[in-house]
Amino acid sequence: MTHSMKLQPQPFALMACGLKTIELRLNDEKRQTVQIGDRIVFTNASNENEQITVQVVDLHRFGDFAELYTSLPLDKCGYLPEQVATAAPEDMAAYYSAEQQARHGVLGIEVRLVTE
């Protein structure tokens, strides 16, 4: 199955060059359909002509981003090496509320670029 999602320009660029290999999302109804082996087409939110395709290699489910941030390598989640020390689960509050996290849980979607 192939899914479609948008990414902001910086995480899109990091994923396109292979530095970001884990996408963080709310584990809502849409993300619950994602399975290992599926493909995701990510579109740059600032330029819809830019797309990359990845394959899902693992799914990491957590109750909230606080749990995720203590379990996954943040340098693979879109943080640059100099940002890892100050990375915090609250960074995701711009996207998902505590209530949404409590209702759905969160997901780290581990991917690899499809180069074919």
| Domain spans of the chain, in order of start | 2-113
pLDDT tens readout for residues 45-100: 999 999 999 999 999 999 999 999 999 999 999 999 999 999 999 999 888 999 99
Local confidence band at 101 (pLDDT 50, 70, 90 cut-offs): very high
The CATH number assigned to the domain with range 2-113 reads 2.30.130.30
Residue 116 has pLDDT above 80, yes or no: no
Local confidence band at 107 (pLDDT 50, 70, 90 cut-offs): very high
Q: 11: helix, coil or strand?
A: helix
